[in-house]
Structure 1
Amino acid sequence: MRLIGILVLILGVALAGGALYYSKQYFAAFEARNQGPQGPAMAKVVVAKIPLSYGQELEPSALNVIDWPKASVPAGTFDAVEALVDSSGQQKRFVLRAMEPGEPILQAKITGFGQEAGMAMRLADGKRAYSLPIDAVSGVAGFLAPGDRVDIILTESRGEQLASRVILQDILVIAVDQSQTKDRASPRVGRTATVEVDSRQAQILALAQQVGRLSLTLRGLNESETAGTGEGDASKPVSLDDLIGRAEKPKVVDTGTDIRVRKGTAVETTRIE
């Protein structure tokens, strides 16, 4: 009898342990189903809290830290405000590119510690800033703004003819007068447009300014084509004859040869065709 009682006790303990184990498994699976699928891994990213404009000092009150999907964090972001702002206030940083609220703060859009937001900071590698005089007509009636892209047209006199042609295409405007920020709400006619060009393009503009008048034409936002072909070829010069439909005067080519024969003090000329 004692042996039977011991066996019954062991069996009861085993059954109780098994019931407890399977109960835990059941409730764990139940909780997992209620929680649903796990979300993506997140990372901390510093973003703009308010609209930031070019040249504005970067301050802690203008920044915010949010969770961002780790797999899509842009290169050059910051994970803490302390990495952006000098706690002592001695080394300031400034905005190089305008940013909207919620936009990540990127290294390329701000200056380094203690650096000013000058024009040179905005130029791409190998580029130069070149300024052109503009007016209400050549400057697109005041609607030209930094960040726009333009074609540059040269109008010049060729003898008795006027001709114009596109000398540079898809050129970035980086400033109008001393303003390097867009202000579409109140367009104004500027006197100078500063464009971003390479060294050769700067030489072309310098020469073109000496031989004729330069005008700017505003390109569309999604336009990326340059010179085409055929009648619409942007690189093909357009003359006054083209506008009024007048045929160009044929050039007279002199194919004859004059032979001069000196006889004493007299000179006799004979023309051979």
Structure 2
Amino acid sequence: MRAIFAAILLVGLGVAGFAVYMAQGYIEGIEAAQTKNQTPSIELVDGYVVKRALKYGEPLEKKDVSRVKWPKAAMPEGMFLTVAELFPENDSRNRMILRSMEKGELLIAAKVTEPGQHAGITSRLKTGQRAFTIKVDATSGVSGFLRPGDRVDVLWTGSPQSGRSRGEITKLIDANVHLVAIDQSTDEEEQAGRVARTVTVAGTLNQVAALELAQQTGRLSLSLVGATDETVSAAVEIDQQQLLGIVEEKEVVQEVVEVEKERVCTIKTRKGAEVVQIPIPCTN
């Protein structure tokens, strides 16, 4: 009897264990299916990263890059998608590095020059732009805090050739002008703090002409624009009277009208003992 009871108990335990095993497998299958359905499909594209750290001015070669998969939704502007875009066929000229890059960093057009182009000023000029050099010192050049790639507002100080003297004025000549070189360096990674003697800016031919006239007729100074500041400075002009708070007095001109009194001319005649005055026309 005990043997039968033990056998029944063992069979019951086995059936229960099998049921638990089947239930656990069923639950895990449902969870796996739900996880698979919740995972979004990410579309990938080919991109290229550098295999080693590269410094400004170094040539970029095929051995320096490797292909990686990149999320299409997170593609930065100017990303190279094919090797033909990065290294054009039948063109053995190298691209040059414009910004220092670390190993594994993604390659985009803004970080390299065109094939055969030097990493100098010409690579920083867009179509229609010209380079113009401005003389600066520690004061007008923001005390050496300028670097290539910064933006500045250009201010002119001088005496305008106008009929009414206002003394010297300071006027905003151009806003958000891009710096492409400090002295003879175009390296954006150069440490700030060195007082420059010249800065080179990029602008249209009209902007360059205006800056040249301003530099010849007065003094130019630069005002550094913040890296994240996207506002455009409005027109600014201030003279000495505005600076010192002098209110110009208006001359009050009083017109004095002289009214010519009517002249009366007479002649005197005597009639016996009586003297009579007779009016006659006045003559000059």
1:142 to 141, 144, 159: 144
Alignment gaps of 5+ in structure 1: 1-25, 229-234, 256-273
Match of 1:161, SS state, is: coil
Identify the residue that residue 206 of structure 1 maps to in structure 2. 212
Q: Is the 8 A contact 2:42 2:71 kept in 1?
A: yes
Percent of paired sites with the same residue: 38
Q: Deviations over 1:65-86 (max 9, x none)?
A: 2221134434543356686458
Match of 2:159, SS state, is: strand
1:10-89, aligned counterparts within 5 Å?
33=33, 36=36, 37=39, 39-60=41-62, 62-74=64-76, 76-79=78-81, 84=86
| Amino acid in the other structure paired with 1:125 | T
Structure 2 distance, partners of 1:89, 1:201, is 36
Q: Is the 8 A contact 1:143 1:184 kept in 2?
A: no
| Amino acid in the other structure paired with 2:118 | E
Q: Is the 8 A contact 1:76 1:108 kept in 2?
A: yes
Identify the residue that residue 222 of structure 1 maps to in structure 2. 228
Identify the residue that residue 119 of structure 2 maps to in structure 1. 117
Identify the residue that residue 131 of structure 1 maps to in structure 2. 133
Aligned residues: 223
Change over 3 Å in CA distance of 1:100–1:177 after alignment to 2: same
Identify the residue that residue 276 of structure 2 maps to in structure 1. none
Distance apart, 1:244 and its partner CA: 1.9
Distance apart, 1:41 and its partner CA: 3.0
> Is 1:191–2:176 an aligned residue pair?
no
Q: Is the 8 A contact 1:53 1:97 kept in 2?
A: yes
Q: Deviations over 1:183-216 (max 9, x none)?
A: 4645211111111111111111011011100000
Change over 3 Å in CA distance of 1:210–1:89 after alignment to 2: closer
Give 1 or 2 for the bigger CA radius of gyration. Answer: 2
Q: Is the 8 A contact 2:146 2:192 kept in 1?
A: no
| Amino acid in the other structure paired with 1:191 | R
Distance apart, 1:173 and its partner CA: 0.8
Distance apart, 1:108 and its partner CA: 4.9
Q: Deviations over 1:151-203 (max 9, x none)?
A: 00000024571211111111111111111122464521111111111111111
Match of 1:193, SS state, is: strand
Q: Is the 8 A contact 1:86 1:92 kept in 2?
A: no
Identify the residue that residue 165 of structure 1 maps to in structure 2. 171
TM-score, normalised on structure 2? Answer: 0.65
Identify the residue that residue 11 of structure 2 maps to in structure 1. none
Change over 3 Å in CA distance of 1:250–1:237 after alignment to 2: farther
